[in-house]
């Protein structure tokens, strides 16, 4: 994790280059879930963290995985995060 330039040090950011690849069909649903759950572990307790996605979904990506992210947030995203 790093700190975004020009923002207070208490706000963290994370590069999501691999996460975008996980929308591709070559990765299993289990690999996708493991990545998102590991992300929650890395940012726990979750203070000052925002999960989001721009318009970088691969054209052949599985759009249904956006819904899966929402399900995982509902299940594991309550503060403080304890996984």
Measured CA to CA in angstroms, residue 27 lies from 20, 22, 23, 34, 77 at distances of 11, 6, 7, 11, 23
Closest CA to 81 of 31, 18, 15, 36: 36
Tokens (6 digits) for 21: 């690849």
Helix axes 29-43, 64-76, angle to 10 degrees: 40
pLDDT by 10-residue block (mean), the chain, 83 residues:
46 54 84 90 84 75 87 89 86
Return the pLDDT at 26: 85
* Cα 26 to the center of its chain, rounded Å: 18
Return the pLDDT at 72: 92
Return the pLDDT at 60: 80
């Amino acid at each position: 994790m790093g700190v975004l330039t020009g923002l207070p040090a208490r706000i963290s950011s994370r590069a999501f280059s691999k996460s975008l690849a996980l929308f591709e069909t070559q990765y299993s649903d289990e690999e996708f879930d493991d990545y998102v759950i590991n992300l929650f572990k890395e940012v726990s307790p979750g203070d000052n963290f925002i999960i989001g996605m721009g318009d970088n979904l691969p054209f052949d990506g599985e759009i249904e995985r956006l819904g899966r992210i929402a399900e995982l947030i509902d299940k594991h995203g309550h503060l403080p995060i304890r996984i």
